[in-house]
Amino acid sequence: MRRRFTRLYGLTTIGVRRIRARLTTNTSGGLLAAVAAVTVTIALMTTVSGIALGLASQSAIQSEDVDYWVVPDATTPTAIAASVQGPKLGNVHAASTRLTRDDRIEYATPVETSLIRVTNGGGEGAYVLALGIVVPETPRTVAGLSTRGLTPGDPHYANGTYSGPWTGEAVISGATAEVLDVQRAATLDVETGDTARTLTVRRVAENDVSTGVGPVPVVIVHLSELQTISGATSGDAASQLLVSTTDPSVQSDIEAVYPGTTVVTRTGLSQTASLSSLPLAIALAAFVTSVVVGVLFVATMMGLELLSDRETLAVFTALGYSARSVTVLVLVETLSITVVGGVLGVSLGVLGIEAVNLVSGQYLGVAPALVDPRLLGYGVAIALGIGIVAALYPVWLYRRVPALEVLSR
């Protein structure tokens, strides 16, 4: 056993030294190309996997005071309270009024969601997730933030028109206050095209709307005012309808308000959100693409290298090295290439994750990718796997032609 270990150690040393010499002396463009290919492949896989990890650890922006969510059929439940595009519900003020007349329902409000750009007094701007609601008489929690500080009702929506007084009131999350560097009573300008609108911060919430990618900058305003800002006044549109009740018998009545829509319960939302397959699909696609591209490129490059170096390998055979020993040597050299590329790729991938978070944080206020220490080992392990599979091709080429035949040419 000790003899075998010594032999393996010796072959590994020879293989690593051969690769190091050829890389440092720049005598082999094929090896450098193989290292570059593995580096880029692992870097992209690491970056995409970091984004997938961030998505997987997200949670839907939910509210503890809400028991039912009414959403258009084309909207997936996992997008509840976070969707800023897609189908809308119409005539939402009338629908929520109808529901609140039911004694079994404690609270009902439409929710319009929109990604808007706001600027502080110093001209610094950022995109924030704006939620427009009909404010209840008693403060409640919507998307994790209390409505305390906002005038009850929806004053700007008067008698079916958007001609009521503009309050401009806003409750902002801690993340919004940090991004915009503002506090209570600060004035925010909203970019709405030709019409200038302003919001006044009535309160900075103590907590944040948190997801796996970090706190999300959120602003809660009156529904009609956000509809005016986002252009959703036509048809009195909103993204969804939230209902709070302790009586499960009202579900059929809620469904009757918008026939053909989806009514999701708190339990259904949690189960659906936890089973979201998007992050898994992204990670799987990154894995498959990395392995296929890496194996094909490395196998091709190492095959070409072996063809140009087979006389040296034949000399090893002539000196008494067995076919198994030379096979181990080829495997070690291939693994050396992929490990170097893997280490460089993981490092570059982490920088890629930071770059994605930096750009996204600057323009959207969120960091969508997650740096996890496990990504480091994952990337190097995939590089090793690529090396093992890719080595089959140069090994096959070596065994295809007898060493004596190579030396006799």
Q: Are 52 and 212 in contact (CB under 8 A)?
A: no
pLDDT the model gives residue 200: 93
Closest CA to 213 of 175, 247, 241: 175
Query: Looking at residue 188, what is its pLDDT?
Result: 92
What is the average pLDDT across 345-351? 91
Output the pLDDT for position 154.
Answer: 94
pLDDT band at 58 (very low <50, low <70, confident <90, very high): very low
Report the 10 Å Cβ neighbour count for 93: 18
Select from 239, 172, 237, 248 the least CA-distant residue to 208.
Answer: 172
Q: What is the pLDDT of residue 79?
A: 36
Residue 263: its pLDDT value, please?
77
| Three-class DSSP category at 186 | coil
What are the pLDDT digits (tens) for 114-158? 888 899 888 888 888 889 999 988 888 887 788 899 999 999 998
Average pLDDT over residues 249-270: 72
Output the average pLDDT for the chain.
77
What are the residue ranges of helices labelled H in 188-277?
223-230, 251-257, 266-274
What backbone torsions phi and psi does residue 178 show, to the nearest 5 degrees?
-70, -45
- The torsion angle over the Cα atoms of residues 85, 117, 360 and 269, rounded to 10 degrees, is -40
How many helices (H) and strands (E) in the chain?
12, 13
Instruction: Examine the pLDDT at 274 and tell me if it is beyond 50.
Output: no
Beta bridge partners of 374: none
Q: Is the pTM of this model over 0.85?
A: no
73-87, 212-226, 296-310 — most confident range: 212-226
DSSP 3-state percent helix, strand, coil across the chain (nearest 5): 50, 20, 30
Q: Where are the alpha helices (DSSP H) in 223-322?
A: 223-230, 251-257, 266-274, 278-318
* Percent of residues, the chain, with pLDDT higher than 90: 11
Q: Of 372 and 217, which is predicted with more confidence?
A: 217
Distance CA 181, CA 174 (A): 10
Q: Please check whether residue 95 is in contact with residue 253, taking contact to mean a CB–CB distance below 8 angstroms.
A: no
At 170 the three-state DSSP class reads: strand
- Position 191: which residue type? E
Residue 164 reports pLDDT greater than 90: yes
Tell me which of 357 and 155 has the higher pLDDT. 155
d(CA 351, CA 353): 5
Q: Tell me phi and psi for residue 322, to 5 degrees.
A: -75, 165
